[in-house]
Amino acid sequence: MNYQKLDTALAMALNDVPDPQEPSLAVFIHTEPVLDAAATAVLENSGISGVTSGKDIFTATLSPNAISQLSEEPWVKYLKLSQKLHLVNRKISMRSFGI
């Protein structure tokens, strides 16, 4: 595992995953903009679809083992944990905004 390519949140989340084989972490994969056929094959074998030349950011839900493998690839610049989005509470009254 090349921890220098992981953001802090991803490095911390890896410690909390009980099964290293289970795809459980949503990540952004930042790569070199031009990927060769071997790099494209590695991404596709990791379950990433839509790999095209010129694209340099991919999203996927990966296992810790897959993250470790990708972090060692020279064409991967860094991996970042995706943040969970929260819905805005629709019950907030417009009066609370002074309207």
pLDDT, tens digit, 9 for 90 and up, residues 32-43: 987 788 988 899
Full-model pTM? 0.78
- The DSSP bridge pattern shows strands 76-81 and 57-62 to be unpaired
Is a pLDDT exceeding 80 seen at residue 44? yes
**Cα–Cα distance for residue pair 38/29, rounded to 1 Å:** 16
Model pLDDT, residue 87 = 72
Residues with Cβ within 8 Å of residue 50, at least 6 apart in sequence: 58
Task: Check pLDDT > 90 for residue 78.
Answer: yes
Q: What is the pLDDT of residue 52?
A: 81
* Residue 89 pLDDT > 90: no
Q: Where are the beta strands (DSSP E) in 5-99?
A: 25-31, 57-62, 76-81
